[in-house]
Amino acid sequence: MKTIITASLSDELGAYLSATPFDRIFVLTDTNTREHCLPVLRNVPQIADARVICIAAGDLNKSLRQLSDVWTVLSNDRATRHSLLVNLGGGMASDLGGFAAATFKRGLRTLNIPTTLMAAVDAAVGGKTGINFNGLKNEVGAFHSPIAVFISSLFFRTLDRSNFLSGYAEMLKHALLEGDSTLADILSFDLDKDLQDYARLNRMLAESVSIKEKIVEADPLEKSARKALNLGHTVGHAIESMSFADGRPLLHGCAVALGLVCELYISFKNCGFPSSKLMDIAGFIKAHYPPYAIGCSRYGALYELMRHDKKNRGDAVSFALLAQVGQARVDESVAQALVEESLDFYHDFFGL
């Protein structure tokens, strides 16, 4: 897989597509990326000539029904193993399009052009694809690496602040896995004033993507080291699922940010993660991310959601934790009482 972070997207994409012959090119967009992002590529002849498949936007639509709609177009318009599916959108498009491609004729090639920060630093890179099913996030899916990922911050100009914050939480997670200087860079970026500093953002983006790629390359099928990328996600996914069920859906990264507060607290208690770092990071998250109140009467339900996590073996809930910034511990089992204590910490810290 090739990842290209570029300031001249149309030229580089055009050159790449000319160099690789495909019999047909399909472009998957959602309703928003068709409006805001497809026009950015109007000067790429192969994209201008491609068959556009447009699906409804939003994670609730990362569904079997929309997957079936994509398969139907691919089938009716005679996609073959020599065709290409370009996923132009956020993580919803690359997850659903990637899974459609993984399964259609047992494997169609895909190319990802992430248009959200979340997709650029995380979802579009690394080959995990899937859909939500039976009320559970990413319940059905496959590993299917794109042949290339083209990343450009051009798209972020139309992205709203919440979606920017959502992606930024994954950058924070990558920095926590990498080391102190990367973390200092992430915490010092002023999310109110520096947002137009595209040069700095591009540099931070490139570093963040390379951290994820390094981890994925070492362990593509998530047997061990890749599990570190789940930091913040055991509690985060459960909060995300609960927020959907409550009808007050949180964006994935915003739920992960709250999950990070809890999991760094657990790291402090179980692995000696420094309390000063815990307070700095929790302070950053509190300052920027929307809170989500979870009364203690719902801790049991939240813990049940964690037990559904794909990372678990049997009934135990398994965590990725940190001993230090840059030192992950994977497959850590944590007692339910400590998970609940971490939720108390989050609640008190946020003043909920």
Residue 194 contacts by C-beta under 8 Å, 6 or more apart in sequence?
Answer: 200, 201
Q: Which range, of 90-98, 181-189, 288-296, 341-349, touches ligand NAD by CB under 6 A? A: 90-98
Check binding of 222 to ligand NAD (CB under 6 A). Answer: no
| Residue 51 · residue 73 · CB < 8 Å | yes
Look up residue 241 and give its DSSP letter: H
CB of 237 to ligand NAD, least distance (A): 9
Check binding of 166 to ligand NAD (CB under 6 A). Answer: yes
Q: Which range, of 1-9, 154-162, 176-184, 268-276, touches ligand NAD by CB under 6 A? A: 154-162
Q: Which range, of 55-63, 73-81, 181-189, 193-201, touches ligand NAD by CB under 6 A? A: 55-63
Residue 185 contacts by C-beta under 8 Å, 6 or more apart in sequence?
Answer: 175, 204, 207
Nearest to 104 by CA among 63, 149, 74: 74
CB of 254 to ligand NAD, least distance (A): 9
Q: Which of 22, 26, 99, 155 binds ligand NAD (CB under 6 A)?
A: 155
Check binding of 32 to ligand NAD (CB under 6 A). Answer: yes
Q: Which range, of 4-12, 57-65, 274-282, 341-349, touches ligand NAD by CB under 6 A? A: 57-65
Check binding of 115 to ligand NAD (CB under 6 A). Answer: yes
What are the E-state strand segments in 193-347?
Answer: 318-324, 327-333
| Token digits of residue 22 | 């495909």
| Residue 260 · residue 233 · CB < 8 Å | no
Q: Rounded CA gap, 271 and 268, in Å?
A: 6
Using CB under 6 A as the binding rule, the residues of this chain from 131 to 150 that contact ligand NAD are: 137-138
Check binding of 63 to ligand NAD (CB under 6 A). Answer: no
